[in-house]
């Protein structure tokens, strides 16, 4: 079986191995493929399995690459493949529907926290030296646009208590 990967660099810039695929047959790996039907068709040739991430597989390519039995898209969509033509020719097309699901959820919460707390803004202020500590009152202040956030040592007891006031311990 011949397997061709048209744009391997998109998903593997060199830190992973494609060797596991070699158990199934001959594997030809191209880091990038020009988005030109003639070039794409030449690279696919008589391959049975085509793996792509962003390189389009058009009707013109499918018409000349007669031996394709399966197309795998290394992404969540499959809009880069002429699905109607592939279906007519009986070629299954798959994608990676669960790809990045946990990462997307984490990113959503990271953005929500950024919206609520402006973490990037505060980080920038620290890096630019706009975060000041006043030696007179031991609290830290971030002065920006007329707003001030005070954090004093006595506030930490409230923020980090273990619920047992008598022990005075922090979590």
Q: What tokens does 6 get?
A: 């048209």
Exposed/middle/buried for residue 85 (C-beta within 10 Å: 0-12, 13-18, 19+): middle
pTM of the model as a whole: 0.63
Cα distances (Å, whole numbers) of residue 88 to 24, 27, 33, 72, 129: 26, 26, 25, 17, 63
Question: Per residue in 104-147, pLDDT tens?
Answer: 888 888 898 888 888 888 888 888 877 665 445 444 444 444 45
């Amino acid at each position: 079986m011949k397997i061709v990967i048209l744009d391997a660099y998109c998903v593997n810039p060199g830190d992973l191995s494609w060797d596991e695929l070699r158990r199934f047959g001959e594997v030809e790996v191209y880091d990038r493929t020009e988005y030109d039907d003639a070039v794409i068709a030449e690279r696919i040739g008589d391959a049975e399995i085509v793996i792509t991430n962003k390189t389009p597989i058009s009707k013109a390519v499918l018409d000349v690459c007669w031996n394709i039995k399966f197309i795998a898209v290394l992404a969540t969509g499959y809009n880069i493949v002429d699905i109607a033509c592939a279906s007519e020719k009986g070629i299954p097309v798959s994608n990676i529907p669960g790809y990045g699901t946990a990462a997307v959820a984490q990113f959503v919460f990271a953005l929500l926290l950024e919206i609520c707390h402006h973490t990037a803004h505060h980080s920038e202020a620290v890096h630019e030296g706009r975060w000041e500590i006043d030696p007179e009152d031991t609290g830290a202040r971030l002065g920006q646009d007329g707003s001030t956030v005070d954090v004093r040592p006595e506030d930490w007891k409230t923020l980090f208590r273990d619920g047992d006031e008598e022990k005075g311990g922090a979590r």
